[in-house]
Amino acid sequence: MAHRSSAFKHIRADKRKRDVSFRRKSAIRTAVKKTRVAIEAGNVEEAESLYRSAAGLLDRAASKGVIKKGTANRRKSHLAKNLHLVANR
């Protein structure tokens, strides 16, 4: 069985990519949860600023291939819809 140095380099790079993707997904989950909590609490101003940061994280993750573009758009849409409902009460 031949061992090539390029294979070991790919293994190391894949581990780094997996770690970065995990951190990005974790940051997205945290941002979306904070936004949802602010929406449920009725803090419209805070929820709007949190929504903007969550939307940015979702777009960035989608552009990097961590999540699919449709998934990012769906999550942003759900947050925006809930935020709109709370803001217009």
CA atoms within 13 A of residue 11's CA, in its CB half-sphere: 6
CATH number at residue 80: 1.20.58.110
- With respect to residue 67, please indicate whether it lies within any of the assigned structural domains: yes
Q: What is the pLDDT of residue 59?
A: 98
Q: What is the pLDDT of residue 73?
A: 98
Is residue 51 within 8 A of residue 35, CB to CB? The reply is yes
- With respect to residue 73, please indicate whether it lies within any of the assigned structural domains: yes
- With respect to residue 13, please indicate whether it lies within any of the assigned structural domains: no
Domain region containing 69: 25-87
In tens digits, what is the pLDDT along the chain, a chain of 89 residues? 557 888 899 999 999 999 999 999 999 999 999 999 999 999 999 999 999 999 999 999 999 999 999 999 999 999 999 999 999 98
Does the reported pTM lie above 0.75?
yes
